[in-house]
Amino acid sequence: MNTQLERPIAVIDYGAGNLRSVVRALTHVGAPLHVTSNAAEVLTAPAVVLPGVGATLDTMQSLERLGLIEAIRTSVRAGKPFLGICVGMQVLCEQSEEFGPHPCLGVVGGSVRRLPAGQKVPQIGWNQLHYTNASGAHPLFAGIPEQSDFYFVHSYYCDLTDTHMIATTTEYGLAFPSALLRENLAAVQFHPEKSGRWGLQLLANFVAWASSQSPSHGRYTLPEVSVEHPLPGDKSN
Amino acid sequence: MLTRRIIPCLDVKGGRVVKGVAFLNHRDAGDPVALAAAYDAAGADELVFYDITASSDERAIMADVVERTAAQVFIPLTVGGGIRTTDDMYRMLRAGADKISINTAAVLNPQLIEDGAKRFGSQCIVLSIDARRVPPSEGTGANDAPPRWEVFTHTGANARATSLDAIEWARRGVALGAGELVINSMDADGTGSGYDLALLRAISDQVGVPVIASGGVGTPNHMLAGLVEGHADAVLAASIFHFGQYSVSDVKHYLAAQGVPVRQ
């Protein structure tokens, strides 16, 4: 690592079942971490990881209850290195069709859709990443060969409006975006924390990338989308 | 392309890995954490820890084994044996398990499947089914009737018949929220003569979730048959790996040469 993070990476704790797996794997690669569900701590962290497993609706309700929605949007907008994992990638979209249409974070344009029928859903197991354009040269994928296997567990995927942000695709009934990259924003549909050596490599790469990022690397600009309407079942509105 | 998974199963008793022939006569095959790390290095796609005694004090030992393994091994880890409540599940998930396998407790209380799936997600809940072929009815002459399999509980020497039909139980388990099924043929288990392919195929073709073949593996060719003829999505094996007859990478090379997609 060329530069050290001055303060630990915030790993957002909103009750996701795999939080500890993500923490263990990041710890294994030597990342300084702070697990938090506090919006102010997310806002002051130099980089943010949003783990996830389960459903987008549950996740959005938890993020809303904890007051983390704006903290996440602001962190991305501020140019902070950000890594979303699995549902932590899906909730970046504008909306999801899982358990009835509902708004998500609106950090990226697109919808969370169910994997097509014709094969077993959920997809459970190891599948390959195919780099798009020059994404294989991105620091997040340093040292990870084309077609490396990563571990997936999901029934839904991100149908992204801006196809230029697709970093890798994976085949499962269709070629879906298995990773996205844009300026300071990164997200993956697979579970790097359960993907053996390449998964650990990717996490180590994220930490190194986060440590070396400066504003000159560019800040991601959030799309103009409306996500202000309440979530179904939300009793606070 | 989604690869077919090779899953070593480590039967754990008192914090040590054991594996018997037809679940009996346990022989010690090592330390679970060291074995898990060795299997990870050899290319195992997942690991299963099965707590074969699971008295309540030994579950604490198991949670410790899981915790120590999860700190070193970064592939999916399933824990089964003696899980009776969603709080038991939580304890193992909290220790570092990714999935929980339930068997007897699910038969006695099918609601456990639904409760576990609701609390942790279907991807966490693996329904393991021990099934034995029902002999064709005597004296009826109905030899062309389709084969049937009966579900048994209490894996091991004291296995108990349930009168549940294995295919019906598999379908119900999936409807209740099981995210994967382990199908263990009691007839084949420990024989080393291959999976019960008809049982695997009958279930795999009727459910929309992954099916993991278990019980009877003696050679890599048996695994090929389980995946190709049995339509299984993954194969589970124990003794064939533990005693060094074949390595995980031997099996993967063999399967790849036969055109089966595996993780390299």
pLDDT of the residue at A39: 97
Q: Do A21 and B3 touch (CB under 8 A)?
A: no
Task: Answer yes or no: do B5 and A126 touch at CB < 8 A.
Answer: yes
- Farthest-apart Cα atoms in chain A, separation: 49
Could you tell me what percent of chain B has a pLDDT over 90? 62
Q: What secondary structure does DSSP assign to A185-206, as a single string?
A: EEEESS-GGGSHHHHHHHHHHH
Per-residue model confidence as pLDDT tens digits over A5-50: 778 999 999 987 778 899 999 999 999 999 999 999 999 999 999 9
- Judge whether A128 is closer than 8 Å to chain B, CB to CB: yes
Question: A122 to chain B: nearest residue by CA?
Answer: B209
Sheet containing A156-160: order of strands: A102-103, A95-96, A110-114, A156-160
Contact A18 B76 (CB under 8 A): no
Confidence at residue A236, expressed as pLDDT on a 0 to 100 scale: 41
> Distance of CA B213 to CAs A16, A78, B190, B222, B223, Å?
30, 49, 14, 10, 8
More confidently predicted of B238 and B198: B198
Q: Which residues of B touch A127 (CB under 8 A)?
A: 1-3
> Can you identify the CATH homologous superfamily of domain A3-222?
Class I glutamine amidotransferase (GATase) domain (3.40.50.880)
Yes or no, beta carbons of B123 and A53 under 8 Å apart: yes
Instruction: Determine the residue among A18, A124, A155, A170 to mutate to test chain B binding: the one whose Cβ has the most chain B Cβ atoms within 10 Å.
Output: A124
Q: Give the mutation candidate from A123, A153, A190, A197 for the B interface (greatest B CB count, under 10 A).
A: A153
> Residues B31-58: pLDDT tens digits?
888 889 889 988 999 999 998 876 666 7
Hey, what are A102's tokens? 């509902």
Give per-residue burial for A121-157: e unless 16+ CB within 10 Å, then b: bbbbbbbbbebbeebbebbbbeebeeebbbbbbbbbb
Nearest to B234 by CA among B213, B255, B205, B259: B213
Catalytic residue check, A158: no
Chain-wide mean pLDDT for chain B? 88
Q: What b/e sequence results for B10-39 when a residue is b if at least 16 CB atoms lie within 10 Å of its CB, and e otherwise?
A: bbbbebbbbbbeebeeeeebebbbebbebb
Q: Using the beta-carbon criterion (under 8 Å), do A196 and B70 form an inter-chain contact? A: no
User: Which phi and psi angles does A7 have, rounded to 5°?
Assistant: -130, 160
Catalytic residue among A86, A93, A104, A158: A86
- Active site residue ranges of B: 11, 130
Q: How far is A197 from chain B (nearest CA, A)?
A: 8
CA-CA-CA-CA torsion sign (A45, A51, A57, A62)? negative
CB-count burial class (<10 Å; 0-12, 13-18, 19+) for B49: buried
Average pLDDT over residues B85-104: 92
pLDDT in tens, A145-160: 999 999 999 999 999 9
> How far B6 CA sits from the closest chain A CA (Å)?
10
Interface A:B, Cβ pairs < 8 A: 79
In sequence order, what DSSP letters do the residues of A99-167 get, joined into one string? Answer: TS-EE---SSSEEEEEPPTTS-SSEEEEEE-EE-TTGGGSGGGTT--TT-EEEEEESEEEEES-GGGEE
Q: What's the maximum distance between 2 C-alpha atoms anywhere in chain B?
A: 58
Nearest-neighbour CA in chain A from B29: distance (Å): 24
Closest CA to A74 of A35, A49, A44: A44
Question: What's the DSSP call for residue A221?
Answer: P
B167 close to B203: Cβ distance less than 8 angstroms: yes
For the cut 70, the answer to whether the pLDDT of residue A209 exceeds it is: yes
pTM: 0.91
Task: Check if A150 contacts B (Cβ < 8 Å).
Answer: no
Nearest to A107 by CA among A61, A155, A75: A75
Tell me, what's the pLDDT at A61? Answer: 93
Q: Is B114 on the interface with A (CB under 8 A)?
A: no
Beta bridge partners of A85: A188
Q: Which chain A residue lies closest to B95 (C-alpha atoms)?
A: A20
Among residues A102, A138, A154, A191, the one annotated as catalytic is: A191
ipTM score for this prediction: 0.89
Please give the distance of CA A96 from its chain centroid, rounded to a whole number.
Answer: 15
Q: ∠ CA(A197), CA(A203), CA(A205), 5° rounding?
A: 100
Task: Locate the domains of chain A by residue range.
Answer: 3-222
Mean per-residue pLDDT, B221-234: 97
Residue A55 has pLDDT above 80, yes or no: yes
State yes or no: cis peptide before A122, omega within 30 of 0: yes
Q: Which residue of B has its CA nearest to A200?
A: B74
Q: Which of B73, B74, B98, B212 to mutate to test the interface with A (most CBs of A within 10 A)?
A: B74
Task: Using pLDDT thresholds of 50, 70 and 90, give the confidence band for residue A227.
Answer: low
Cα separation of A125 and A98, whole Å?
Answer: 21
Determine contact, residues B100/B124, Cβ cutoff 8 Å: yes
Tens-place pLDDT, residues B129-185:
999 999 877 555 556 778 999 999 987 778 899 999 999 999 999 999 999 999 999
pLDDT at residue number B17: 82
What residues form DSSP beta bridges with B130?
Answer: B152, B184
